[in-house]
Amino acid sequence: MSTPLLTARGLTKSFGTRTACDAISLDLHEGEVLAVVGESGSGKSTLLSLLSGDLAADAGRVTYRLRSGEVRDLTELGEAERRLLARTDWGFIRQDATQGLRMPVSAGGNVGERLMAVGARHYGDIRTAASDWLARVEIDPARIDESPRSFSGGMRQRLQIARNLVTSPRLVFMDEPTSGLDVSVQARLLDLIRGLVQEMGLAVVIVTHDLAVARLLSHRMMVMRGGRVIETGLTDQVLDDPREPYTQLLVSSVLAA
């Protein structure tokens, strides 16, 4: 098998006396979607922050394979290198779209800013690309000059997706991207995400408490509890034949709901 795109080994993070992540290791390959599931407080969001560099680990390391093929330890990257990666190779879809968007900037400006960050300078080309991406995420391009504040929650999430994917990243982190949305809005957003992930061949780490989201989007699944990975495997295998009692409880509670 090819060299993983992203590798974590022994990732550990504590907050006071609470261990949020306890020596977690994983590999993620190009085009693969990994769902990290577990109850609130299980450590899944902390793990996402460690992988994306938003948090520094107490122990362990994360490596990433650059487009050149070189594998780099993310802790050894300079600040400029890290910022460039975040603007080009990576995306981060946050649970609260207001944290992933520039709310005072227009919808088109939110998409265009990321293009400008990677060197685009021609206003017409930037505006055309922004308009095209609004259409791809099912936002009327006629709203290109409107503020995200005038958008619904689902539209803000779609705009955040456009902002992140316009530079054709290889790796996208997603933190509960459908949480808090109406069921019908969730379904449309999940269909959109699944289609774009397949079309662009994205590698994704998605944190979710919703096993239906994990089944729909992911190839593999990690179940976390108390900062530890207690079960991992192909998504269908884990959900259809869970080994661990905690995973069995999670699955049975969904089936009983």
AA identity, residue 153: G
Q: Is 168:200 a contact under the CB 8 Å cutoff?
A: yes
Q: What is the mean pLDDT of residues 181-198?
A: 91
pTM: 0.94
Which residues, 6+ apart, have CB-to-CB distance to 24 below 8 Å? 8, 10, 11, 12, 43, 47, 60, 228, 229
**pLDDT tens digits for range 22-52:** 999 999 999 999 999 998 899 999 999 999 9
pLDDT band at residue 257 using 50, 70 and 90 as cut-offs = very low
Q: Of 96, 138, 149, 144, which Cα lies nearest the Cα of 124?
A: 144
Q: Tell whether the model's pLDDT for residue 1 goes beyond 70.
A: no
Q: Is 21:10 a contact under the CB 8 Å cutoff?
A: no
Bridge partners of 206, per DSSP, are 35, 174
**pLDDT tens digits for range 145-155:** 999 999 999 99
AA identity, residue 233: G
CA distance 196 to 193: 5
Q: Is 208:35 a contact under the CB 8 Å cutoff?
A: yes
Q: Tell whether the model's pLDDT for residue 72 goes beyond 60.
A: yes
Collapse the DSSP code of 255 into the 3-class scheme (helix H, G, I; strand E, B; otherwise coil) and give the result: helix
Give percent of the chain above pLDDT 70. 98
Q: Tell whether the model's pLDDT for residue 7 goes beyond 60.
A: yes
Q: Of 184, 175, 220, which Cα lies nearest the Cα of 55?
A: 175
